């Protein structure tokens, strides 16, 4: 048996293990599958048509509303869980978003919950929650998209603290979702599970690395799931699927015993946070995890904090910074339109004002460069090593991370130098913030996100320049849906006035997307960011904003 | 000119620059100098005898009392500053504790303060504060004990944020104090400034690395100074000079623009905090820096926190963990006596209870090993490089840090592994803490400190096993004076029952100190430690404790 056949066989075994957990009656026939895959922009509607009305009522609801129905005994935990299991199975067969299926465990627990209902229902009682395939759950793998880590089910002791919290809160874990191997890509693909498509428009990538989450929730296969973000991995799939996705400040949501790449790399750390269809659900979830579970008691990396999920009123003399771009990569017309709409709304509201947020191109560029440098500091050692363990071939999406032209890994002194540059850049941004007169200091900043979607294979034709810097800065950032692309209104970009080669490449890609018409109706994403680490505030502003557009 | 003569000449120039800032009338004649140096245990009294009564009244007072006198116009800023400048100059000539002298600047500012008195005096108005030679002050060097960094005065823009805060609070910066080159030693020596002696007993080391601070404050040459602590550097000199020294949790007191070794090493970070004669002064100072200055506004590494300096009452059902040792190195009789006294006091107080704090030897050992490993991770590269810059010879005290048997510096992957071990060990200690029933979880832990003093050259005959772990754990720790050694009461240790070679070495050294009688009357130090990062609480408990013994 050759190495190649070995890895292929193992990958097939894993894929079969996964698919064996989907009931036969939930399996799509070939004709339906073809029809759904070809009807690129209508997955949600097409899945709706395959599900009973009663299930759609559940899957198109919100956690908060389902909880009310549970309390009023208008729904059972079983009904809710069944609806999401069914729908997730259907979505998965089209977009390929699941890596672990726990339908039977979830339904069993739902039945138990229905027969052992306490007088007061715990905050997430009977609510199915999906998890990115980094969270450890007893009895199933955490493969991070690596074949080498399959068929190594986790023990109870290895369970992530956040999973324990979810159990304590009454939630039901029903699926784990796909990631690109190593998570160090913004496209979601692995040799084991294949490619995860965008559930809003199958033409495009789901984004990454929490691509499975984004795609699943995008088509109502889950109301809320957990992703992680070291370089946009929550915000990009959220943006690409029209969701709310919060990259919290480090230390808000516990990462304890969540598997990861580059464990121990505490400079520009990965953070864990929710992706959700509904913003109130997301805020409710954050308040449960932070205020109820108090993660700092158990996880030494967590910091005491109160997450305010109840207030919707913004304080007086509210200042919103609008970031129209870094002067390196210009924004596409859709983003400018969305930002202008926000600016106008703010300026037309009494007691609020918009200011231009415009840190220097040098600083924005430095933040971006640092993040990229950090990601290749080990010259791809860890990722290469993981691929070698199973013999699976390196993925194209990871080659920029791994094939580093013979440079040895950083020494510890080089790493400390980079860490120092991170702090200096963070301070420079703080100094920029403090350079505003106090009455003009932004409470939140509105920033573009990923500018535009990309087709499989085109990951590097977009930019992370509006993404990575907030990881380096550790600013909490909530990705929010902010309208959709209208090809006629938004139109082409002028290639001849491109600022540089990179800008030209991106403008060209945008024009291609517009000319093909594929991008028509695609969600526009913006980020609401706090320069003072105030996670509650970004959510509060987003609630205000979304209630007005 | 040979390299050797070059460095010697430069060092001499620096020393001359320093000494030229001491007025001639403050210079000790040779006979007095000899007398003071030979009278090892009476420096404070001897200095008292050299100073006018009015100055001794000032230098033996407290910040809080001096502030009252300033308010009542019973003292001027000039009188206070003059008294401390004079005394610091005298002490320095015996123990060699200063690296920068700013008497004229401080006196000039004091005069200005006297003639421009505001109606409400800022919190530290007219109070001289000393600084470890890592803090950047305009116009003077920050040499870190490296000859290569002398004659490079800092600019206004380079001033440490904490120095800006001190200025804002009205404090007067009058001296900077000696450190071992690189600060990576617990003895204080450099080729440029020489050796810093203990001001309580000149037989011994001042400790380190904030040795100059410890020795200066120990003989009332300053009421409060700032030190830093990456491995005991605040707590050891505090303990050795009978002071209060707080190693805060990381992110309480701003480190922004404080020079350091290993900048960018954020695993087991150095922290900055006060050493003081008086605990109320120390608490008052912390409340000024944290509550008044709100360092998190300006320094992104600082975390919002309220430092409670007003309450002295301990809450109900107070639990104190007593740590009688790690099972690797046994405690000398003096420490056991001090710990027992504390335990009895607690147990004899209604509403309080002492419990045994006894993490496993494996965990304590792992924490100690990790800290040592981190310190040599770069195989001495940085320190070696700094010595080479000036051609000065490597110090014996640094050889264990630098002469690492040809091992190359850690790769970034090795460093991440170590960082991961830090987190795992921190979590293991948290799990140990949580393993107590809730009613038995210690509010504070009482731990030994450095066990015993050491003579110049004997640094490695003591242990850091009760020191380094709290750096790895990031637990705030307040070193407090807890009585003094009584050779007759405390007596010899049994060598034959030593637990291991290291334990035997330390017992032997203890016996040597007892038999020589040198240790008679030497301060015993204990640490008050918070397992939940509560800096206020350790100070509150210490106030309670010190008011009762």
Distance CA B284, CA B280 (A): 6
Q: Which of B413, B417, B420, B531 to mutate to test the interface with A (most CBs of A within 10 A)?
A: B413
B413 and chain A in contact, CB less than 8 A: yes
pLDDT in tens, B356-385: 999 999 999 999 999 999 999 999 999 999
**Res A402: pLDDT:** 86
SS3 annotation, B134-183: CECCECCCCCCCCHHHCCCCECHHHCCHHHHHHHHHCCEEEEEECCCCCC
Say if strands A352-356 and A444-448 run parallel, antiparallel, or are unpaired.
Answer: unpaired
**Res B473: pLDDT:** 98
B417 and chain A in contact, CB less than 8 A: yes
pLDDT in tens, B494-532: 999 999 999 999 999 999 999 999 999 999 999 999 999
Surface of B (522-541) touching A: CB under 8 A: none
**Res B534: pLDDT:** 97
Distance CA B235, CA B233 (A): 6
Using CA coordinates, name the residue in chain B closest to A415.
B412
Residues of B in contact with A416 (CB under 8 A): 262-265, 378
B382 and chain A in contact, CB less than 8 A: yes
pLDDT in tens, B325-366: 999 999 999 999 999 999 999 999 999 999 999 999 999 999
Tokens at B161, concatenated: 């944020």
Measured from the Cβ of residue B71, the count of other Cβ atoms closer than 10 Å reads 12
3-state DSSP assignment of residue B541? helix
Among A388-402, B109-123, B283-297, B420-434, name the one with the lowest average pLDDT: A388-402
The phi-psi region of residue A173 (left if phi > 0; otherwise alpha if psi is between -120 and 50; otherwise beta) is beta
B112 and chain A in contact, CB less than 8 A: no
A49 and chain B in contact, CB less than 8 A: no
Please classify residue A527 by burial: count the beta carbons closer than 10 Å to its beta carbon, then call 0-12 exposed, 13-18 middle and 19+ buried: buried
Q: Compute the residue count for chain B.
A: 549
pLDDT in tens, A103-128: 999 999 999 999 999 999 999 999 99
Q: Which of A301, A370, A413 to mutate to test the interface with B (most CBs of B within 10 A)?
A: A413
Asked if A303's CB is within 8 angstroms of B412's CB, the reply is no
ipTM of the complex as predicted: 0.95
* Average pLDDT over every residue of B252-280: 97
Among A422-436, B11-25, B395-409, name the one with the lowest average pLDDT: B395-409
Using CA coordinates, name the residue in chain B closest to A414.
B412
Please classify residue A353 by burial: count the beta carbons closer than 10 Å to its beta carbon, then call 0-12 exposed, 13-18 middle and 19+ buried: middle
Measured from the Cβ of residue B456, the count of other Cβ atoms closer than 10 Å reads 16
Using CA coordinates, name the residue in chain B closest to A426.
B300
Token pair 């108090």 is at which residue?
A294
pLDDT in tens, B449-467: 999 999 999 999 999 999 9
- Which positions ≥6 away from A540 have C-beta within 8 Å? A308, A311, A312, A314
Residues of A in contact with B409 (CB under 8 A): 411-413
Q: Over the range B410-428, which residues count as b (16 or more CB within 10 Å of their CB) and which as e? A: bbbbbbbebbbbbbebbbb
Using CA coordinates, name the residue in chain B closest to A474.
B300
Surface of B (181-240) touching A: CB under 8 A: none
**Res B3: pLDDT:** 60
- Chain B: closest CA distance from residue A228 (Å): 18
Residues of A in contact with B420 (CB under 8 A): 263-264
- Which positions ≥6 away from A512 have C-beta within 8 Å? none
Which CA distances in Å does A425 have to A247, A326, A527? 20, 15, 20
> What proportion of chain A, given as a percentage, has pLDDT over 90?
97
SS3 annotation, A376-397: CCCCCHHHHHHHHHHCCCCCHH
CB distance B98 to B143 below 8 Å = no
Asked if A378's CB is within 8 angstroms of B423's CB, the reply is no
Sheet arrangement for strand A318-322: A98-101, A172-177, A128-132, A224-229, A271-276, A244-247, A477-484, A523-529, A444-448, A318-322, A352-356
A412 and chain B in contact, CB less than 8 A: yes
Which residues sit opposite B59 in a β-bridge?
none
Question: Which sequence positions of A are flagged as catalytic?
Answer: 132, 209, 233
Q: Is the pLDDT of residue B1 over 80?
A: no
**Res A406: pLDDT:** 78
Asked if A264's CB is within 8 angstroms of B411's CB, the reply is no
Of B408, B410, B427, the CB nearest to A256: B427
Q: Compute the residue count for chain A.
A: 549
Q: Which of B258, B267, B412, B535 to mutate to test the interface with A (most CBs of A within 10 A)?
A: B412
pLDDT band at A3 (very low <50, low <70, confident <90, very high): low
Q: Is the pLDDT of residue A12 over 70?
A: yes
Annotated binding site of B: 183, 209, 230-233
Residues of B in contact with A264 (CB under 8 A): 415-421, 423
Q: Is the pLDDT of residue B405 over 80?
A: no
pLDDT in tens, A194-240: 999 999 999 999 999 999 999 999 999 999 999 999 999 999 999 99
* Average pLDDT over every residue of A418-440: 98
Surface of A (283-342) touching B: CB under 8 A: 297-301, 303
| Entry pTM | 0.96
**Res A536: pLDDT:** 97
Residues of B in contact with A300 (CB under 8 A): 423, 426-427, 430, 474
Using CA coordinates, name the residue in chain A closest to B261.
A416
Q: Over the range A172-206, which residues count as b (16 or more CB within 10 Å of their CB) and which as e? A: bbbbbbbbbbbbbbbbbbbbbbebbbbbbbbbbbb
Could you list the beta-strand ranges (E) of A304-414.
Answer: 318-322, 352-356
Q: Is the pLDDT of residue B445 over 70?
A: yes
Asked if B267's CB is within 8 angstroms of A377's CB, the reply is no
**Res A311: pLDDT:** 85
Which listed residue (B143, B148, B160, B209) is catalytic? Answer: B209
Asked if A413's CB is within 8 angstroms of B408's CB, the reply is no
Q: Which of A250, A363, A382, A412 to mutate to test the interface with B (most CBs of B within 10 A)?
A: A412
Q: Is the pLDDT of residue A446 over 90?
A: yes
Of B264, B414, B420, the CB nearest to A263: B420
Using CA coordinates, name the residue in chain A closest to B303.
A303
pLDDT band at B311 (very low <50, low <70, confident <90, very high): confident
Asked if A414's CB is within 8 angstroms of B415's CB, the reply is no
Which listed residue (B233, B309, B447, B477) is catalytic? Answer: B233
């Amino acid at each position: 048996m050759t190495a190649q056949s070995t890895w292929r066989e193992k990958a097939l075994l894993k894929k079969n293990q996964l698919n064996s957990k989907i009931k036969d009656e939930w399996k799509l026939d070939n004709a339906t599958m073809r029809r759904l895959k070809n009807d690129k922009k209508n997955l949600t509607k097409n899945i709706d048509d395959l599900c009973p009305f009663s299930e759609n009522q559940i899957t198109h609801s919100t956690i908060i509303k389902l909880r009310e129905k549970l309390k009023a005994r208008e729904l059972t935990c079983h009904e809710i869980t069944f609806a999401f299991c069914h729908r997730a199975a259907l979505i998965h067969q089209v977009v390929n978003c699941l890596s672990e299926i726990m339908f039977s465990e979830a339904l069993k627990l739902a039945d138990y919950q229905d027969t052992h209902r306490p007088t007061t229902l715990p905050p997430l009682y009977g609510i199915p929650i999906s998890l990115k395939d980094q969270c450890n759950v007893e009895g199933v793998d955490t493969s991070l998209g690596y074949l080498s880590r399959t068929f190594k089910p986790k023990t109870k002791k290895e369970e992530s603290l956040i999973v324990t919290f979810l159990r304590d809160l009454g939630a039901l874990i029903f699926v784990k979702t796909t990631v690109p191997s190593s998570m160090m890509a913004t496209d979601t693909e692995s040799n084991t599970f294949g490619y995860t498509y965008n559930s809003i428009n199958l033409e495009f990538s789901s984004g990454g690395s929490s691509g499975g989450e984004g795609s699943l929730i995008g088509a109502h296969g889950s109301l809320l799931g957990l992703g992680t973000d070291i370089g946009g991995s929550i915000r990009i799939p959220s943006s690409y699927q029209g969701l709310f996705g919060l990259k919290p400040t480090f230390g808000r949501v516990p990462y304890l015993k969540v598997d990861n790449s580059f464990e121990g790399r505490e400079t520009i750390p990965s953070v864990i946070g929710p992706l959700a269809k509904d913003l109130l659900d997301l805020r409710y979830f954050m308040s449960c995890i932070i205020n109820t579970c108090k993660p700092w008691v158990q996880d030494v990396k967590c910091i005491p904090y109160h997450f305010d999920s109840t207030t919707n009123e913004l304080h007086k003399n509210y200042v919103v910074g609008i970031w129209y771009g870094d002067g390196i990569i210009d924004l596409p017309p859709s983003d400018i339109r969305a930002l202008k709409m926000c600016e106008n709304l703010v300026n037309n509201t009494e007691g609020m004002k918009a200011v231009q947020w415009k840190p220097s191109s040098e600083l924005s560029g430095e933040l971006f460069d640092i993040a990229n440098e950090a990601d290749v500091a080990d010259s791809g050692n860890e990722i290469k090593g993981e691929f070698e363990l199973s013999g699976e071939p390196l993925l194209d999406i990871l080659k920029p991370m791994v094939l580093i032209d013979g440079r040895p890994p950083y020494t510890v002194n080089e790493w400390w130098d980079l860490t120092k540059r991170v702090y200096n850049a963070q301070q420079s941004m703080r100094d920029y913030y403090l350079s505003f007169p106090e009455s003009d200091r932004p409470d939140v900043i509105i920033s573009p996100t990923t500018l535009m979607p990309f087709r499989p294979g085109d990951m590097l034709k977009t930019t992370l320049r509006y993404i990575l810097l907030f990881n380096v800065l550790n600013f909490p950032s909530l990705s929010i849906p902010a309208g959709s692309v209208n090809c006629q209104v938004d139109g082409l970009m002028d290639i001849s006035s491109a600022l540089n080669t990179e800008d030209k490449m991106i403008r060209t890609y945008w024009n291609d997307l517009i000319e093909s018409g594929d991008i028509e109706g695609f969600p526009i994403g913006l980020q609401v960011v706090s320069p003072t680490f105030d996670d509650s505030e970004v959510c509060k502003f987003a609630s205000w904003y979304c209630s007005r557009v």
